[in-house]
């Protein structure tokens, strides 16, 4: 996956657990043997040339210690996680065990697009759109209640993604209180939820996110 700029400098890369050892060996080969520390659950590598890599545990994994081998073991572990992807007119809910999606349900609803009309018509369309969005969120919540709520005690965590407002609308349902409490900090940037999007989200949810900071430029 391409690197993404990180706030405050550096870049983010997502590394599949199966490629993590190779990535670590490559970092060491390019920058030298790093000093390994852990702070606030994040594994940090400080290389001799000034390069830094901060490895964030995958959702459901325990906070990192300075044991890099154990970090890799935990990244590779096949956990059972829930997924909830929502946008205003679509939802995808699933359960994955390791890299395999074992349970899934995808649904779409009609939500009217915004209108450029003014006056009374604009307010009427806005109310209709709001009612359609509420109905879509209610239907999505029903799916999450059926798939995730009964299993939440067996899940390492629940990973969400899509549109934050839509996800919050779904999780506002009181029946999903335990599901909301199990939510991971990781939020996936995904397009309109479909089965293929849900399947690819499993890999994104399991990946190790690494913030890489290059050494300061020489004066």
Lowest mean pLDDT across 84-93, 172-181, 193-202:
84-93
Residue 32 has a pLDDT of 96
Per the rule left: phi > 0, alpha: psi between -120 and 50, beta: everything else, 134 is alpha
Residue 137 has a pLDDT of 77
Is the per-residue pLDDT at 158 higher than 90? yes
Residue 123 has a pLDDT of 58
SS (H, E, C) the chain: CCCEECCCCCEEEEECHHHHHHHHHHHHHHHCCCEEEEECCEEEEECCCCCEEEEECCCCCCCCCCCHHHHHHHHHCCCEEEEEEEECCEEEEEEEECCEEEEEEEEECCCCCCCCCCHHHHHHHHHHHHHHHHHHHHHHHHHHHHHCHHHHHHCCEEEEEECHHHHHHHHCCHHHHHHHHCEEEEEECCCCCCHHHHHHHHHHHHCEEEEEECCCCCC
Residue 124 has a pLDDT of 59
Residue 110 has a pLDDT of 39
Residue 85 has a pLDDT of 97
What does the pLDDT look like over 9-57, one tens digit per residue? 899 999 999 999 999 999 999 999 999 999 999 999 999 999 999 999 9
Is the per-residue pLDDT at 109 higher than 90? no
**What number does CATH give the domain 80-205?**
3.30.420.60
Domain borders along the chain are 4-77+207-213, 80-205
Is the per-residue pLDDT at 101 higher than 80? yes
Whether the CB-CB separation of 206 and 17 falls below 8 Å is answered with yes
Q: Round the CA-based radius of gyration of the chain to a whole number and report it.
A: 21
Is the per-residue pLDDT at 126 higher than 60? no
Whether the CB-CB separation of 146 and 107 falls below 8 Å is answered with no
Whether the CB-CB separation of 58 and 208 falls below 8 Å is answered with yes
d(CA 41, CA 96): 24
Whether the CB-CB separation of 48 and 125 falls below 8 Å is answered with no
Lowest mean pLDDT across 28-32, 65-69, 113-117, 186-190:
113-117
């Amino acid at each position: 996956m391409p690197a993404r700029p990180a706030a405050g400098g550096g870049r983010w890369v997502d590394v599949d657990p199966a490629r993590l050892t190779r990535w670590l060996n490559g970092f060491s080969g390019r920058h030298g043997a790093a000093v390994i520390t852990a702070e606030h659950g994040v594994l940090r590598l400080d290389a001799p040339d000034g390069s830094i890599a901060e490895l964030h545990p995958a959702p459901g994994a325990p906070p990192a210690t300075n044991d890099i081998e154990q970090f890799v073991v935990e990244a590779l572990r096949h956990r059972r996680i829930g997924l909830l992807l929502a946008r205003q007119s679509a939802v995808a809910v699933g359960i994955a065990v390791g890299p395999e999606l074992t349970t899934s349900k995808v649904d779409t609803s009609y939500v009217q697009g915004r209108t450029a009309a003014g006056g009374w018509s604009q307010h009427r369309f806005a109310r209709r759109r709001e009612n359609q969005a509420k109905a879509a969120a209610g239907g999505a919540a029903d799916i999450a209640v059926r798939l995730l709520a009964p299993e939440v005690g067996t899940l390492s965590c629940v990973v969400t993604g899509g549109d934050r407002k839509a996800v919050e609308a779904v999780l506002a349902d009181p029946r999903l209180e335990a599901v909301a409490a199990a939510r991971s900090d990781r939020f996936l940037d995904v397009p309109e939820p479909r089965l293929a999007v849900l399947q690819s989200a499993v890999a994104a949810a399991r990946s190790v996110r690494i913030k890489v900071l290059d050494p300061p430029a020489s004066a």
